[in-house]
Amino acid sequence: MSAASRAFVRKTALVVALGLTCSAAAVAQQFDGPARAWMRKVRIAAWPLTPTNAQQIVQQAETSGVYGIEVDNDIEGRYESFLDPTEKLQAIRLVAEAAHKAGNKAFVYIAGTECISLNADGPHTLAREHPDWLQRKITGQPAIFGAKSAFWIRPGEEDVWVSPYAEPWRKIYMQRIRQIAATGIDGIYVDIPYWMTHFTGWEDSWASFDDATVAAFKKATGLDARKDIKLDDPDDPGFRQWIDFRIQTIDDFLAEIRKNAVSANPDIALIPEIYPGIEEAAPRVGSDVYQLYPVVDAIAHEYEFGDAEDHTAASRSPFDWFNYQIGMRSFRAFAGEAKPTWILNYSWDGAKNVQPQPAMLSLANSELTAGANFWDARGHVMSGSNDMPTRKQIFHWIAAHEDIFGAQRQPEGETGVYFSDTTRNYYPREFVAGYRGVLLMLLQNHVQFRIVTARTLDAFRGKVLVLPDVRVLSEQEAAGVKSFADGGGHVVLTGKTDARLDGLKEAKRFPDQPEIRYLDTAQKDFYAVSPASEADLLHAIATESDVQVSASQNVVVHEARVNGRTTLFLANFSGLQAGQNETPAEQRGIRVTAQAALGKKLHWLPFLGTETTVEGQASGDGTSFTLPALERGGVAWFE
């Protein structure tokens, strides 16, 4: 049996051995339906919740165009309310009633595995009373922190991270979940359901090695996590099992939260907030959004990556903006058409040379273009706004065009790019570079694509399937790739590939990974890079669609079916400069050529503007349209 086969078998065995409290299949029937349709239409803002401000929150939300109110009173993440939630439960009940009376929706913030005690020097802190609950490094050091570790920990407080296998804690936690759900609130928003690996000094710990977690791993695999694995060695079978185990544990934890919530309120939604995306942070913290989407109702991505100084829109370069599109398109592929993707990101946090308004506009347009729901806040917190009039303008415009931005999208494209979750988890740096490089080439050349995963491989009917440095496949995945090739599909392989694909004689192979050269060049000088620089690879992966777009390579174009119509979503990143300018250079003369069957009239909706129509002209076997000047972005559809 090959290494990849063993990995697949181990992962399957873990699911059985861990005794999952609630599998994805067991709750799948509860995800769909009108009770959760509101989640695709949210325009989110957040408020701290007190026992007396529920009505004020709902009134402010209505005034500023908010639909989907986040409130923060965190029962689970504060030790005092974890023990006695009475006052906070009543506040949640009041805000749910006020929101529903106003025709709005509300969801409440809770912590995942983090818990803060008010007085670190007092006798009644979680760490003092329950040291056996804590996550630990392999050295035994407990996950206890103070105000210097994170901005949300106030001086004098004790911050700890609890093991998901601390059964007494977990029992109380799930009781609190049922009590919160019973208030009538529409959603539970679980922040940071992670293994502690992201505070200074813990990044390479691969925690937790507490007794309860080590015992659970031993039961699942027969291995001693403290002795039988080589940390940070992806070729070590034991370490691979440790990665799989840690991810499965977080999946199971969130599935159990949802099971308990819907037992008390069948219509309630579960929304975890996750900052890792497609990059290496996912296996480290154990929250893999690809694997989480099937067991939750939506994910709120606090998506951060790259070299931007503060991860705000004001500090993003065009290279960052394109990679942001790649991340969000990936999340949408992981979610499927029905489940929404919420984005909690930040536009501005005091940048000297960029004003808040253009940064907010860039952020909102980029997220709407990719099909995500917009949530911007003041600075790096969850509430407030850097510019309230701009937020109102954005939210009211989205609401006016809810039929577009609140609808399901079916991405178009004959090129499929494979996201291998297992390869990313074991070899994240290598895989993500190749994956990004391929998608960047396609985006800049306006080649429409679909992101293909193990869950969607069998259903993919495109012409080309690209596997960028996909080193680890299950037997089922390898069979799916072979079936695609046997059916006449063209397979393109770059970098190192799983040995099962060695027999694909007709596959195009690029072992030297030109897409990584392309990515590196773009990162150094984005405006100088050209897709033609790696013409052989581009020729192998490019396909045509019913719609062709002629535009600058600094313009993103996503084609999708929306409400039965072929629709184009455009975002313009031309001229942007990190920390200097977030107002794009206007683009003129963008031409859209479509098959005649799509229609002779094009509807055009510019970002924050009003709808107009463009008459087409005959062009060969199709119709050609010249778009109005493209400022920040827009949406086009055919009639």
Question: Which tens digits make up the pLDDT trace of 96-109?
Answer: 999 999 999 999 99
Query: Which tens digits make up the pLDDT trace of 208-247?
Result: 999 999 999 999 999 999 999 999 999 999 999 999 999 9
Domain ranges in the chain with CATH number 2.60.40.1180: 547-638
Residue 597 in this model has a pLDDT that exceeds 60: yes
Of the pLDDT bands very low, low, confident and very high (cuts 50, 70, 90), residue 1 is very low
Domain ranges in the chain with CATH number 3.40.50.880: 413-541
Residue 162 and residue 262: Cα distance in Å, rounded? Answer: 24
The pLDDT, as a whole number, for residue 309 is 62
The pLDDT, as a whole number, for residue 531 is 78
Domain ranges in the chain with CATH number 3.20.20: 3-301
Query: Which tens digits make up the pLDDT trace of 247-288?
Result: 999 999 999 999 999 999 999 999 999 999 999 999 999 999
CATH topology classification for 547-638: Immunoglobulin-like (2.60.40)
CB 128 within 8 A of CB 164: no
CATH topology classification for 413-541: Rossmann fold (3.40.50)
Token look-up 């596997």 returns 467
Average pLDDT, integer, range 119-137: 97
Task: Spell out the CATH class of 3-301.
Answer: alpha beta
CB 216 within 8 A of CB 165: yes
Length of the chain, please?
639
Query: Which tens digits make up the pLDDT trace of 13-43?
Result: 454 334 333 444 444 445 667 889 999 999 9
The pLDDT, as a whole number, for residue 240 is 98
Mode of pairing for the β-strands spanning 617-619 and 565-572: unpaired
Lowest mean pLDDT, pick from 424-433, 482-491, 562-571, 615-624: 615-624
CB 564 within 8 A of CB 545: no
Mode of pairing for the β-strands spanning 114-117 and 158-161: antiparallel
Query: Which tens digits make up the pLDDT trace of 496-529?
Result: 999 999 999 999 999 999 999 999 999 999 988 9
Average pLDDT, integer, range 455-479: 97
Distances, alpha carbon 53 to alpha carbons 93, 180, 592, in Å: 12, 18, 51
Task: List the end-to-end C-alpha distance of the chain, in Å, as a whole number.
Answer: 55
CB atoms within 10 A of CB 360: 25
Of the pLDDT bands very low, low, confident and very high (cuts 50, 70, 90), residue 311 is confident
The pLDDT, as a whole number, for residue 9 is 38
Distances, alpha carbon 87 to alpha carbons 76, 187, 506, in Å: 13, 19, 66
Residue 67 and residue 45: Cα distance in Å, rounded? Answer: 8
The pLDDT, as a whole number, for residue 271 is 98
The pLDDT, as a whole number, for residue 31 is 64
Buried/exposed 447-482: b ≥16 CB within 10 Å, e otherwise: bbbbbbbbebbeebebebbbbbbbbbbbeebbebbe
The pLDDT, as a whole number, for residue 120 is 96
The pLDDT, as a whole number, for residue 30 is 57
CB 563 within 8 A of CB 543: no
The pLDDT, as a whole number, for residue 596 is 86
CB 402 within 8 A of CB 41: yes
Residue 577 and residue 567: Cα distance in Å, rounded? Answer: 29
Taking the CA atoms of the chain, what radius of gyration do you get in angstroms? 24
Residue 371 in this model has a pLDDT that exceeds 80: yes
Query: Which tens digits make up the pLDDT trace of 147-200?
Result: 999 999 999 999 999 999 999 999 999 999 999 999 999 999 999 999 999 999
CB 355 within 8 A of CB 579: no
Lowest mean pLDDT, pick from 6-10, 32-36, 178-182, 438-442: 6-10
Residue 390 and residue 607: Cα distance in Å, rounded? Answer: 13
